[in-house]
Amino acid sequence: MNNEDEFYDAVTGLDSDESYEGVSEASFKDAKGFDCSSQKNNGSVPQENGIKKHRTSLPAPMFSRSTISIWSILKKCIGLELSKITMPIIFNEPLSFLQRISEYMEHTYLINRACSLSDSIERMQAVAAFAVSAVASQWDRTGKPFNPLLGETYEIIREEQGFRLVSEQVSHHPPVSAFHAESLAGDFVFHGSIYPKLKFWGKSVEAEPRGTITLELLKHNEVYTWSNPYCCVHNIILGKLWIEQYGTVEIVNHSTGEKCVLNFKPCGMFGKELHKVEGYIQDKSKKKLRVIYGKWTECMWSVDPQAYEAHKKSEKKGDSKSKKHEELEKTENDEADDMPEVLETVSIVPGSTLLWRIESRPAHSATMYHFTNFAMALNELEPGMEAILAPTDCRFRPDIRAMENGKIDEASREKERLEEKQRAARKERAKHNQEWKTRWFQMGSNPFTGSQEWIYSGGYFNRNYQNLPDIY
């Protein structure tokens, strides 16, 4: 990584008229009747019961990070943005941040569930579960995604899950990634601009969430917006790396005035709050209708507020007896922030309804950057895809490809070459007084929040990839 570096599938062609003035049912007609016969015919796409199979592992396992000491790199950088810090490539994972963003869609079934429900509170529950599930893939994912190059793109189509997504790196200073996902059946649109601000605080790296996420349920004419919680990676210098999510997430239904407030709790002194999420759904008069609780690493439940309060009171009686004993056993550790031991799963309140439960990761996940099954396939490049994908797609990045193939030295050289090429292109534009022009997203106003953000301008899946920048 250089000093200017920022932190930060299966595809087939779909022809459609994509000028984006909101999305109508008619604009998805081609997608509804689409089958991947062009992919089936060339034999490059394995099928099982008509559903495409994706790869379940990476070509090579990850390298050990235990032999690398980064204290000499970081000790002078406390309080600085991480984008100003040079770190070895070995601390990366073989995915671009654009691909990492697409992991929001791993639990698309929760959006589809929301679309199918007739009650707005039940829809909010499903949306809340989706918002929590979107950060679940970060559990144990301590590797840093590659920073997207300016103009880099990524697309993913999952027919079995019923969506397609396109993203673009629209800005380099500050780094901003814009994405747009839509239902193949015309049921929803999901979009946003993400630009987390990262800081190094001695023993940890903190990502402050910036950017609004918007979900439109077209059938119900409803719009939901929210932002992600803070994310902190502990023990960057010494000890076992572990991740904590914390902060308040407010999901607003702009159509009904209903709101879901979720509190991602910090682990606390004794680690009892580690991974816990607790919140409530209120109507437009601020009356609490449901309590939402669980862990972002495990599951989320919903229950009546009165039942929840009664359960909490009974729990407190038992907790007070063991608290003094725990305080006596507490010891300080000046060298590392030990990850609290997870001693219990979620305590289920009687009468609760399960909203979401995380899927098990593959058995070899720990040796492959702790990827989920969904993440394993994100950089998959099958025969025939080269002729379909945009030349700016992440799958063509030689540094990421080399790293996933276990060629760490080649990956480091390619990363440096790409960054130098990007700097040279920027200097050339400055020399001729030329401004960078984005291709698939344009700056505009979010009509629901009034905030300025990057909005999809349409046309990507028409497959007209002329005049794209040469970034690789």
pLDDT tens track for 95-117: 999 999 999 999 999 999 999 99
Query: Span 430-445, mean pLDDT?
Result: 94
Residue 204 — very low, low, confident or very high, per pLDDT cuts 50/70/90?
Answer: confident
Check residue 442 and give its pLDDT: 96
* Interatomic CA distance for residues 192 and 455, integer angstroms: 7
Check residue 185 and give its pLDDT: 96
Query: Is-contact 269 252, C-beta < 8 A?
Result: no
Check residue 318 and give its pLDDT: 60
Q: What is the pLDDT of residues 379-407, one digit of tens each?
A: 999 888 999 999 999 999 999 999 999 99
30 or 373, higher pLDDT: 373
Q: What is the pLDDT of residues 233-243, one digit of tens each?
A: 887 767 777 78
224 or 36, higher pLDDT: 224
Check residue 140 and give its pLDDT: 86
Check residue 201 and give its pLDDT: 73
Q: What is the pLDDT of residues 405-423, one digit of tens each?
A: 999 999 999 999 999 999 9
Supply the pTM of this predicted model: 0.82
* Interatomic CA distance for residues 117 and 131, integer angstroms: 17
Residue 30 — very low, low, confident or very high, per pLDDT cuts 50/70/90?
Answer: very low
User: Would the pLDDT of 456 be above 90?
Assistant: yes
- For the chain, how big is the Rg over CA atoms in Å? 23
Burial label, 111 (beta-carbon count in 10 A; 0-12, 13-18, 19+):
buried
* Nearest Cα to Cα of residue 460 among 212, 232, 120, 157: 157
* Nearest Cα to Cα of residue 10 among 32, 49, 38, 30: 38
Check residue 6 and give its pLDDT: 36
Query: Is-contact 336 239, C-beta < 8 A?
Result: yes
Query: Span 422-446, mean pLDDT?
Result: 94
Q: What is the pLDDT of residues 302-357, one digit of tens each?
A: 999 999 999 888 877 666 555 555 444 444 444 566 655 554 578 899 999 999 99
Residue 86 — very low, low, confident or very high, per pLDDT cuts 50/70/90?
Answer: low
Query: Is-contact 255 124, C-beta < 8 A?
Result: no
User: Would the pLDDT of 180 be above 90?
Assistant: yes
Query: Is-contact 273 247, C-beta < 8 A?
Result: no
Check residue 390 and give its pLDDT: 97
Altogether, the residues listed in the chain come to a count of 472
Categorise residue 62: left if φ over 0, alpha if ψ from -120 to 50, beta otherwise.
beta
* Interatomic CA distance for residues 454 and 442, integer angstroms: 5
Check residue 4 and give its pLDDT: 36
* Nearest Cα to Cα of residue 135 among 225, 224, 210, 244: 244
Check residue 35 and give its pLDDT: 32
User: Would the pLDDT of 51 be above 90?
Assistant: no
Buried b (16+ CB within 10 A) or exposed e, 120-148: bbbbbbbbbbbbbbbbbbbbbbbbbbbbb
SS (H, E, C) the chain: CCCCCCCCCCCCCCCCCCCCCCCCCHHHHHHHCCCCHHHHHCCCCCEECCEECCCCCCCCCCCCCCCCCCHHHHCCCCCCEHHHCCCCHHHEEEEEHHHHHHHHHHHCHHHHHHHHCCCHHHHHHHHHHHHHHCCHHHCCCCCEEECCCCCCEEEEEECCCCEEEEEEEEECCCCEEEEEEEECCCCEEEEEEECCEEEECCCEEEEECCCCEEEEECCCCEEEEECCCEEEEECCCCCCCEEEEEEEEEEEECCCCCEEEEEECCCCCCCCCCCEEEEEEECCCCCEEEEEEEECCCEEEEECHHHHHHHHHHHHHHHHHHHHHHHHHCCCCCCCCCCCCCCCCCCCCCCCEEEEECCCCCCCHHHCCCCCHHHHCCCCCCCCHHHCCCCCEHHHCHHHHHHHCCCHHHHHHHHHHHHHHHHHHHHHHHHCCCCCCCCCEEEEECCCCCCEEEEECCCHHHCCCCCCCCCC
Check residue 344 and give its pLDDT: 55
User: Would the pLDDT of 44 be above 70?
Assistant: no
User: Would the pLDDT of 49 be above 80?
Assistant: no
Residue 83 — very low, low, confident or very high, per pLDDT cuts 50/70/90?
Answer: low
Q: What percent of the chain has pLDDT over 70?
A: 77
Query: Is-contact 203 236, C-beta < 8 A?
Result: yes
| Cβ atoms within 10 Å, residue 68 | 12
4 or 269, higher pLDDT: 269
User: Would the pLDDT of 47 be above 60?
Assistant: no
Check residue 39 and give its pLDDT: 35
Q: Which of 91-100, 151-160, 279-288, 323-332 has the lowest mean pLDDT?
A: 323-332
Two tokens at 49? 């019961």
